[in-house]
Amino acid sequence: MAKSQKDLLQGTLDLLILKTLRLEPMHGWGISKRIQQLSDDVLTVQQGSLYPALYRLQDRGWIRSRKGESEEGRPVKIYRLTAKGRRQLEAETASWQRVSMAVNRVLQAS
Amino acid sequence: MDVLWRWTERLRRLLLPNRVEQEVADEMEHHLAMEIRERVAGGMEPAEARRTALIDFGGVERFRAEARDVRWGSGWDRLAQDTRYGLRTLRKNPGFAAVAMLTLALGIGASTAVFSLVNAVLMRPLPYGEPENALWIQTSWKGSPNASISPAEYLDYRDRLTDVFSAVGVYAFGALNLTGDGEPVRVKTAGLSAAALRALGVEPAIGRSFTESEDLAGAPVLLLSDALWRQRFAAAPDVVGKELTVNGRRREVIGVMPPNFRLPENLLTGSPAQVLTPLGIDPARVEDRGSHFLSGVARVRDGVTRQQAVAALEALAIAFGREHPDAYTPDEQFMATAIPLEDQVRGPIQGPMRLLMATVAFVLLVTCANVASLVLARADHRERELALRSALGAGRGRLARQMMVESLLLGLAGGLLGVLVAFAVTRGLVAWMPFDLPWLADVGINRRVLLFACMLSLSVGWLFGLFPALGASQARLMEALKEGAKTSQGSMRSQGTRRLLAVGEIALALVLLSGAGLLGRSFGRLIDVDPGFQIRDVATTRINLPQAGYPSNGEVTTFFRELIPRLEALPGVEIAGAVTNLPLATRLGDMNFVIEGRPLPERANPPAADWQTVTPGYFETLGLTLLRGRAIAASDVSASTGVVVINETFAATHWPGGDPLGRRLRLGGRGTQPEVAEVIGVVRDVRHDSLTQRRKPQMYFAHEQFRFWNSGRAATSMSLAVRSSLSLEELRAGVRDTIWSLDASLPLADFRTMSDVRRLSIAVPRFLMSMVASFAGVAFLLAAIGIYGVMAYTVSKRTAEFGIRLALGARPQDLARMILLQGVRLTALGLSIGLASSLVMSHAISDLLYDVHPNDPATLLGVSLLLAIAACVACWRPAHRASRVDPVELLRTE
């Protein structure tokens, strides 16, 4: 079931990117840093896998990018959430919460 | 906005892959640089920082490749993949692909051909400046819904409506003999008032237009058509100031019209006027409100709405009745209005064009149904393939899209072939077109037509791709994969859809066939119409005697008196005559008269009848049967008593049951007209204006006597009729030399047989009938193929069942009957739907039918029978195959 595990990881990464961009538009490295910070370094995906994910999300219409500048004035791509992405995030958050609550209940049952 | 951005981004990836690739590289490099900097700031050695950062990143090249895959896996890549796959599956089924593409090529080709026709005729802009501001002045009265304008009315429109119209112009067509430079030719001309070109919004391409003073005086100047300029002056740019001899009079060329210029009447049909002259209204006629012969156009002034202009014109027309109560009696119901020039020009062709469009739309629907049916049948075969792909991870959407891409590919391929078909069809149409439709010369495949064909192919592909795509998205995986499951739910459902499609095809084909049948029957009636004269063995030509060579009536009558015996002396010629208006080629005007001894009641209108003038031999030449009295004779000269021959409808209208011979008519309206004619004979009715014309009273005057019209001039423009069994070619030289023996400046114009004249007069109905009939034929064929396909497929699907039935004791003929009955049920359902639709829809073409009721039972029954027989024949083979199933063979293989 390697495929589904990868799917799960992929889905989780997508969700985290969306969540991160919900706060403010950001460039790639910023997203990576923010995910690490927010998850207290528990979720450490390989940083490079962020970039295929960013293209995937763009293609689904959840995020879009524009040319911008980094804090040091270097040209970088800045990503932001689209309206569709916002809706997707809400839907995924809700379903994630449902699943995790259910899993919690099962695990806590004696 | 987001969607738009997404597609531009996709397009960018497709078109600029290197730049996008570079962006990813830059982005990752930036990431690493930031990471390293952070680690160095945290106290790490730069080399160590770089090493750990790279490890945490997880391989730059790997993720670059992965990002590329993600990019390519989206949109284009999937589309390209689907296309490749679609092409491969189509190649693997060449039979299916060929049949589907050929069917589509027929449907799309026919539609594209009709569209190119519509594009050339209905969608082309009028060759006038700001055509939306140009109005056509339409006069009407009781019995004449679309009449012309009289000189006095024109002057009123011109001078009293200046606040709403910036120009009001009129014109009238004529013909002139052009001499000098070889054989004399007769050219079509138009006399235009000075404002007419301004009202149309057209300027001469070279030189200038007429001035008001030239218009009033009828000055000897002229404007050339582009064609005549090229022909006579080899397109010399310095043509202005040169002279031409028309009707024996020299006229100065003042300009050349643009190449595409035609007066409104000549835009759709007929040859254009080659010479434009000033109208020059006869001063004696400025008060003439009785002779309506002018066409009028008006240009709405800037800042005035069309409604205001029309209202002003209508108010003036109503005022005419008050101002001139003698000229416009109340029960004449005179009225004038103005309609957009656009409507006037395209109005007549709109009905036939709509019919063609509707017909071809039906053909297209039948085509779609047929191909959809084919595609569905194939989708059944592919159910396991689809199930397998689904099991391997293809999403339903992906499968549906795969099916859709295949359909679109088929549609495009069919469309490509269809354009070739359309090209051939339009070429054929233009070459074969039996009547003169100038705009049709440009019918062809241009960019707009190609765009139409492309859009049509895609939408057709989408339409028939919808069924299997929906089917694919509902594919039942388990059922389809089950071993031995021959007919799954899905294929049962698609079989039902295919039956519905076959029923629809039959219904559509029946509607088309009944339309074609009705038009054909109507055309048959038209051909059988007795015009009242003999068409065979009559040749005709038009003679126009110019004022210059024939200044008085004496010369005119002498010319014809000498010409006709000389023609009759030609070998092979039996008899000859002349007439002012040739039947089936012209329209007759009518004239008021009062019957002597029958005082007209106060305020009543005098009766009217169509009139024309003939020379003595005319009745016999055309084989017009004399019913009573005598015909016009050589003794009816200008000095003797005026005579008139009337037709049977005239006699029956005014002397029902009585004897008209010897009665006298006073010609003209209420006024005191001195011209009197005595009825000397009664002839059979002639369908003059058209074969479908209803019976009208007609009068024939002696050419030598009749002076009432044309300010006392005898008619100078006559059609010669020659009865001879010789062919046109054999006659030509003789007739021409005979005319030239009297006057070598006269052209041999419109030399043709009466059969040609008749053929031309029914060219439009013939064209429509042939088009609709060919389309109906295509639909008929497709429908037959459609029902055959459904039945054959049913049989092939149920072979196992038939084997078991046979093994259990069913007789082969029972199976055949069962299949045949099934086919007949489908056919009967289609026929009843088609019949019901025909009953309703055929009323839409009732205007185009002659002497045939739109619900003509014989026609409807006939075409239903034809279709039923064809369907039975189509079902017979599958039924036969069902009866030939070998149970032993079958049970062994199962």
| Residue B299 buriedness (CB in 10 A; 0-12 / 13-18 / 19+) | buried
Size of interface A-B (CB pairs under 8 A): 78
CA distance B609 to B699: 7
Name residue A83's amino acid. A
Alpha-helix residue ranges (DSSP H) falling in B725-762: 728-742, 754-761
Residue B893: what pLDDT?
62
Q: Which residues, other chains included, contact B764 with Cβ-Cβ below 8 Å and sequence gap of 6+?
A: B352, B435
Distance from C-alpha of B60 to C-alpha of B642, rounded to nearest angstrom: 113
Neighbours of B257 (CB within 10 A): 27
- Locate the chain A residue with the closest alpha carbon to B11: A59
Residue ranges of chain B whose pLDDT lies below 70: 1, 14, 71-78, 143-144, 181-182, 331, 393-397, 432-442, 471-494, 602-605, 669-674, 708-712, 890-894
Dist CA B128 CA B199 (whole Å): 9
Calculate the dihedral angle through the C-alpha atoms of B387, B391, B395, B398, rounding to the nearest 10 degrees.
-50
Closest among B11, B32, B27 to B67, alpha carbons compared: B27
- The pLDDT score that the predictor gives to residue B208 is 87
User: For residue B26, which residues of chain A lie inside 8 Å, CB to CB?
Assistant: 75-76
Question: Is A41 in the B-facing interface, judged by CB distances under 8 Å?
Answer: no
Note whether A49 contacts B58, CB cutoff 8 Å. yes
A89 CB-near residues (< 8 Å, 6+ apart):
A15, A18, A19, A22, A62, A81
Question: In this predicted structure, what is the pLDDT of residue B566?
Answer: 92
Choose the closest CB to A51 out of B10, B28, B35.
B28
Give the three-state DSSP class for B681: strand
Q: What percent of chain A has pLDDT over 70?
A: 84
pLDDT at A2 over 60: no
B418/A5: higher pLDDT: B418
Which A-chain residues 4-23 have CB contacts (< 8 A) with chain B? none
Q: How many alpha carbons fall within 13 Å on the CB side of residue B1? A: 4
- A70–chain B Cβ distance below 8 A for any pair: yes
Name the pairing type of β-strands A75-81 and B249-256. unpaired
Binary contact (A47, B62; C-beta < 8 A): no
Residue B441 CB: number of other CB atoms within 10 A? 11
Closest C-alpha among B8, B20, B2 to residue B71: B20
Chain B hits for A77, CB-CB cut-off 8 Å, are: 23, 27
B30 and A61 in contact by Cβ < 8 A? Answer: no
Contact A64 B2 (CB under 8 A): yes
Q: What is the pLDDT of residue B648?
A: 92
Q: Report the residue of A34, A58, A70 to disrupt the B interface, i.e. the one with the largest count of B CBs within 10 Å.
A: A58
Pairwise CB contact (< 8 Å): A64 & B31: no
pLDDT at B436: 62
pLDDT score for A8: 47
